[in-house]
Structure 1
Amino acid sequence: MEILQKALEARSKKVNKIEETKRLKAPMDVYARLDEIAAAGYEDLTKEDSIYFLKCFGLFDKGEDFMLRVRIPAGQLNNAQAVRIGEVAKKYGNDYIDITTRMQVELRYLQIADIATVLRELKEVGISTFQTGADNPRNIVTDPLDGIAYDNIIPSKPLVDKLQQIIGENPEWISVLPRKFNTGILGSLSNSCNIFGHDCNFVLANREGEFGFNIFLGARVGIQAKDADLFVSIEEVPAFFTALLTVFKNYGYRDNRNKNRLHFLLQDVGIANFIDAVKEEAGMDFAPAGVTMVQSQNIALGSNRVLLRDNSFAYKVIVPSGIFSGTDMIEAAKAAAAYGNGDIRLTYDQNLYIIHIAKEGLEAFEKTNVIEKYAKFNNLYFNDMIACAGTATCSFGVIPNKQDAIEMAEFLNSEVAIDNAVVRMNWSACPKGCGVHGIADIGFEGCKAKDAEGNRVDGVHLFLGGKITRGAAEAHILHKALPIIEAKHHVKYLLKLYASQKQRAETFEAFDDRFLSRNYSFQAISFYTKINYILNDRLGLDLFFELDKEPKSGRREEYELFTFGLKLFKLLTGEKRFEAVDGLAPAMLRPRKIKRDEVSKLNPKVPAKLSEVIYNMTHEKKSERAQVFSELLVALKEV
């Protein structure tokens, strides 16, 4: 504990404003006054209640109305709960529901006069909104098919329930942490809940024949969790979790809120020292890590029907960008009761499952109104798409986001048809990363950009190569500040490449590992999408620049530049940039005598600036050639 204490003291010169606000009153005192606040309206709502205390109970003041986060442990709703959420959304919230990446829902457009009533109506069916915002342990996520899927080894919902009993509506845990705390528990082989992306991650493992969990700690936006080299048995999970929260509560930083997540404490004290403190707090000596078992993507990726252990089916309803309604939630609950066991399970990727549908009832189930309504989204580009709120309902949003994601998926579905494929596309409306764009195959972060005419428009930073499998990793930025209208074409060419080079049912993540990232630098891939956008979508030349199946450049940028230049010269002119020297071995080449605008002379449709770019890529003198793709990408902006 001494190392943690020293780290805390070094960061305790001043506390942040939120910590000062937290000292003003107890959160439960505010909760007790909700009826009074509802009756008096905004006049009885203090500034500290609005900016902090109400958030402890899921209530976010949006100025004219409220957003409410509804806590749904493990994403599991019984029929009565699903119906009630739908009814509340219809009656009080403009019939609007957002399904979120924490496997819960957000209700919007609630009036202050109704908030106490809404919370009571939800509580009648066992639904709480406690600790869904502010400095609290948030909703615990797991496999949406936990306990019923073929690849589920440890049913995690019983463990989630035990942890809920510890924190839940316990006043001792409300608002006592330095920052929010996200937890995931995965007892399945497939990663269906971004299991390496939380502050605390219980990851299915086997140690000397015993199934339990390896611990990974300290994820945040842009960074995946680190291996803590610790194995926790099923029975040890509650004690470990309580000790972990206690240590974070006692030693977590409370100065700069941007650096108060668990990640920063681990960064300063070291994960081994932190674990020693947790062991001391728990009074237990947990074993070293076993073998991590999670090693594949979601077992249901790319599929709507999933066969379960009891030979019934789960059916995945694709909800574009998580935009749902109270009406449809009620209809989904009716279909679940008529054809399944009545339960609904929300997913990390903002969709939902209706479970335990008998095989003989599947055809009739799929003809129900609510299922037919969403069936049109059963395609590659909607199946595994995530998008956070955006400007319509979030003050941090830079772009609309949800609608942008939907329009992108519709465009790609019309442009690039791929069979037996899986591609995960995640959208965040701002750098906060609520759409977890960093772990997507193709990720989008909202920003402002300039179009070809210099106008300020909605744009994205485009990311490539996120990983959610056993080797979880963050994506690399491929392009900065692309107008969205241009970005869709860059993605189109990535997917055209995937379609032409993929092996059988290979996922995009596996394709990236095997082909893209292994053979090409990210700079080369960036140039590939940019040059195709220019050739085909800006200039209309209908000339597709392809990447070789077996490149010889070995990801060395200078060689990639040169070989790309040679291919472009041939593609645009039909002639070779270099020719064999007469009478000598074929390997002896000499340059054609060309000028900077030679490509334009050979092909009048090519602008002079593009001709110059190709010349710089293939200059006769190696020392005069362009050395990095970045300078060419800047030059291509003028084309």
Structure 2
Amino acid sequence: MPPRSKRGEGQWALGYREPLNKNEENKKNDDGLNVGRRIVDIYSKGGFDSIDPADLRGRMRWYGLYTQRKPGIEGGKTGILEDEELDDKYFMMRVRIDGGQLSVAQLRTLADISNTYARGTADITDRQNIQYHWIAVEDVPAIWDALEAVGLDTMEACGDTPRVIIGCPLAGVAEDEIIDATPQVHDVHQRYIGTKEFSNLPRKWKSAFSGCTSHCTVHEINDVALVGVVNDQGEAGYQVFVGGGLSTNPMFAKHLGVFVKPEQAHEVWKGCISIFRDYGYRRLRHRARIKFLMADWGPAKFREILEKEYLGFSLPDGPAPAAPVGRRDHVGIRPQKDGNYYVGFAPKVGRVNGDILHKIADIAERYGSDRLRTTAEQKMVVLDIPLEKTEAIADELEAIDLQVRPSEFRRQTMACTGIEYCKLAIVETKARAADMIDELEKRLPTFDQPLTININGCPNSCARVQVADIGFKGQLVVDENGDQVEGFQIHLGGQVGASFGKKVRGLKTTSKDLTDYVERVVLKFEEQRTEGETFAQWVARADDADVQ
């Protein structure tokens, strides 16, 4: 093994403070949070061409703003063209919705922003955010004012920061909830988000807090997650998971074996993110995630450093959480613990628009609800509906194509932004996935087995391709005529927290043949499956020829 560089891994705690790459130099030159003032005072008045390049492709992310892809640039140019050639003069904007919690007034504001400033665009992301496109820098101050008026913002929605804290959409109402994590989500947000203590991390930091028995926050693939457990004394608290993440080096988080009382949660979260800030690898951008530090240290050392250097006290041992109960998406009509019901529904691959958001707000208000939730599966939930009104609200939602009882294909297909707007993407995703859903519903109308289909436009796995039953990773492939076309590498049999999807040698599909492939492999699964066997279990024993 070659000797380790004298520069180490760029860890601050070990004395490596000199910037080791362009990103680190940019952050050292000026804190990303400082760009907010320049956006308001300079860039919104001078327009796109007045933006300093270091802010444009760096610090503006600290306020949820990325330049979007210029229309018409094919996937083969991704990674070849310079940023300024890929950049459109418009932005994607991400609104952070911690815990996925919205009021009717907040949803109406999000709808108004979509229609007024974003050409009607709005997507529900798999981290419970709302994402816009076509945002002009001139309009950003007005958008921020509108969001601030209803208690929302875009601060640290992107960038090397503590991003949105995801939480169970049923927090506080679920019948079988272990603990309501809402106070802890709010506590961490109020104490630490937007502070310069954590505005310069090695890379992004994804957090989750949940007491949900379904484990809907997918704690296994977050940088840090506090998961509801009950200790031997019957007290409800949290187990801590650290080091999960996907992209090109997928790893599941490891639990620290501790028990955290609710009032300690913010200190433990702070300790974990501080370790990342101080010991995280900054030298190489592709290793600048906590999962690589956890892989090198292991959970025992991580716990020791957390307790001795950051908390100043020892945490008691604690149990691992129980296995997830049922589906993780909260779609359908189910009882709350207060006697009311929640109604979860499925927009197609998370894509909505300003008009649809207004209609959702109208429907919720008409049925007496002021609590709506986004989910980590690109879905939405309306809380607090009386039993006798559940069918009526379901009918109204389904009348605008928001299915409360969706097909398996509608229910469990996710897609990232794709080449339509994303500068990293190689292929189209959202429209391709929506067309696939429609076609599979026609071809396989009786299929009723749980099946996750995740479609991603590049290797970064924003849509979690490695933990889907069928995961499609965008790339260019060669078709039957020898031409290079949009297509996908296929991952099969992934399960969150259990296994990453396997890649069968040479198994790819063109975008055009995507639906045919899914139909073929689903029919083979139905033909061969045994009673109670899941798709992932079948894949594990199937011959390679059966999944072609």
| TM-score of the two chains, using structure 1 as the length reference | 0.76
1:493 positional shift: 2.8
Give the alignment partner of residue 57 of structure 2, picking from 51, 56, 64.
51
Does the CA contact (< 8 Å) of 1:317 and 1:371 recur in 2?
A: no
1:289 aligns with 2:314: no
Give the alignment partner of residue 546 of structure 2, picking from 523, 528, 536.
528
1:307 positional shift: 2.1
1:296 positional shift: 3.1
Provide the rounded CA distance (Å) in 2 between the counterparts of 1:13 and 1:130.
27
C-alpha distance 282-376 of structure 1, shift in aligned 2 (>3 A): closer
User: Secondary structure of 2:251's partner?
Assistant: coil
1:32 aligns with 2:37: yes
Residue 345 of structure 2: aligned partner: 317
Residue 186 of structure 2: aligned partner: 161
Residue 134 of structure 1: aligned partner: 159
Give the alignment partner of residue 444 of structure 1, picking from 472, 479, 484.
472
Does the CA contact (< 8 Å) of 1:192 and 1:297 recur in 2?
A: no
Provide the rounded CA distance (Å) in 2 between the counterparts of 1:24 and 1:439.
38
Residue by residue, what CA displacement relative to the aligned partner does 1:450-497 show, whole Å, maximum 9, x if unpaired? 1112121111111111113xx532111235332133343332233223
1:494 aligns with 2:521: yes
Provide the rounded CA distance (Å) in 2 between the counterparts of 1:26 and 1:13.
15
1:377 positional shift: 8.2
Does the CA contact (< 8 Å) of 2:128 and 2:376 recur in 1?
A: yes
Residue 186 of structure 1: aligned partner: 210
Residue by residue, what CA displacement relative to the aligned partner does 1:536-563 show, whole Å, maximum 9, x if unpaired? xxxxxxxxxxxxxxxxxxxxxxxxxxxx
Give the alignment partner of residue 70 of structure 1, picking from 88, 95, 117.
95
1:228 positional shift: 2.4
Provide the rounded CA distance (Å) in 2 between the counterparts of 1:440 and 1:344.
27
Provide the rounded CA distance (Å) in 2 between the counterparts of 1:131 and 1:54.
10
C-alpha distance 493-28 of structure 1, shift in aligned 2 (>3 A): closer
1:184 positional shift: 1.3
1:516 positional shift: 4.0
Provide the rounded CA distance (Å) in 2 between the counterparts of 1:71 and 1:110.
16
Does the CA contact (< 8 Å) of 2:126 and 2:375 recur in 1?
A: yes
1:500 positional shift: 4.0
Letter in 2 for 1:238: H
Letter in 2 for 1:499: E
Q: Structure 2 unaligned runs (5+)?
A: 1-6, 69-87
Residue 393 of structure 2: aligned partner: 365
Give the alignment partner of residue 21 of structure 1, picking from 17, 26, 31.
26
Residue 117 of structure 1: aligned partner: 142
Give the alignment partner of residue 474 of structure 1, picking from 481, 500, 512.
500
Does the CA contact (< 8 Å) of 1:191 and 1:297 recur in 2?
A: no
Does the CA contact (< 8 Å) of 1:204 and 1:294 recur in 2?
A: no
Does the CA contact (< 8 Å) of 1:305 and 1:313 recur in 2?
A: yes
Does the CA contact (< 8 Å) of 1:207 and 1:291 recur in 2?
A: no
Provide the rounded CA distance (Å) in 2 between the counterparts of 1:141 and 1:245.
16
1:304 aligns with 2:351: no
Does the CA contact (< 8 Å) of 2:346 and 2:403 recur in 1?
A: yes
Letter in 1 for 2:205: F
C-alpha distance 86-14 of structure 1, shift in aligned 2 (>3 A): closer
| TM-score of the two chains, using structure 2 as the length reference | 0.88
- More displaced stretch, 133-142 vs 373-382: 373-382
User: Secondary structure of 1:182's partner?
Assistant: strand
Give the alignment partner of residue 129 of structure 2, picking from 71, 89, 104.
104
Residue 455 of structure 1: aligned partner: 483
C-alpha distance 370-89 of structure 1, shift in aligned 2 (>3 A): farther
Provide the rounded CA distance (Å) in 1 between the counterparts of 2:122 and 2:391.
27
Structural mapping, 1:194-213, within 5 Å: 194-208=218-232, 209-213=234-238
C-alpha distance 33-292 of structure 1, shift in aligned 2 (>3 A): same
Does the CA contact (< 8 Å) of 1:67 and 1:109 recur in 2?
A: yes
C-alpha distance 443-369 of structure 1, shift in aligned 2 (>3 A): closer
User: Secondary structure of 2:92's partner?
Assistant: strand
Provide the rounded CA distance (Å) in 1 between the counterparts of 2:92 and 2:173.
33
Number of matched pairs: 513
Provide the rounded CA distance (Å) in 2 between the counterparts of 1:412 and 1:161.
41
1:88 aligns with 2:143: no
Structural mapping, 1:158-557, within 5 Å: 158-174=183-199, 176-208=200-232, 209-221=234-246, 222-280=250-308, 281-298=310-327, 303-368=331-396, 371-375=399-403, 378-418=406-446, 420-468=448-496, 471-478=497-504, 480-500=507-527, 506=532, 510-513=534-537, 515-517=538-540, 519-520=541-542, 524=543, 526-530=544-548
Provide the rounded CA distance (Å) in 1 between the counterparts of 2:405 and 2:283.
45
1:369 positional shift: 6.5
Residue by residue, what CA displacement relative to the aligned partner does 1:261-295 show, whole Å, maximum 9, x if unpaired? 01112223333222211112111201223132243
Provide the rounded CA distance (Å) in 1 between the counterparts of 2:236 and 2:447.
36
Residue by residue, what CA displacement relative to the aligned partner does 1:312-346 show, whole Å, maximum 9, x if unpaired? 22222211121111111111011111114222100
Residue by residue, what CA displacement relative to the aligned partner does 1:240-269 show, whole Å, maximum 9, x if unpaired? 111111121112121111101011122233
Does the CA contact (< 8 Å) of 2:490 and 2:507 recur in 1?
A: yes
C-alpha distance 90-498 of structure 1, shift in aligned 2 (>3 A): same
1:41 positional shift: 0.9
Provide the rounded CA distance (Å) in 1 between the counterparts of 2:36 and 2:130.
20
Provide the rounded CA distance (Å) in 1 between the counterparts of 2:404 and 2:344.
13
User: Secondary structure of 1:394's partner?
Assistant: coil
User: Secondary structure of 2:229's partner?
Assistant: strand
Q: Which has the higher contact order (CA 8 A, sep 6+)?
A: 2
State the percentage of identical aligned residues. Answer: 24
1:364 positional shift: 2.8
1:10 positional shift: 9.7
Provide the rounded CA distance (Å) in 2 between the counterparts of 1:225 and 1:42.
40
1:48 positional shift: 1.0
User: Secondary structure of 2:434's partner?
Assistant: helix
Root mean square deviation of aligned Cα: 2.3
1:97 positional shift: 0.2
Letter in 1 for 2:315: F
C-alpha distance 229-11 of structure 1, shift in aligned 2 (>3 A): farther
Provide the rounded CA distance (Å) in 1 between the counterparts of 2:433 and 2:467.
16
1:202 positional shift: 1.4
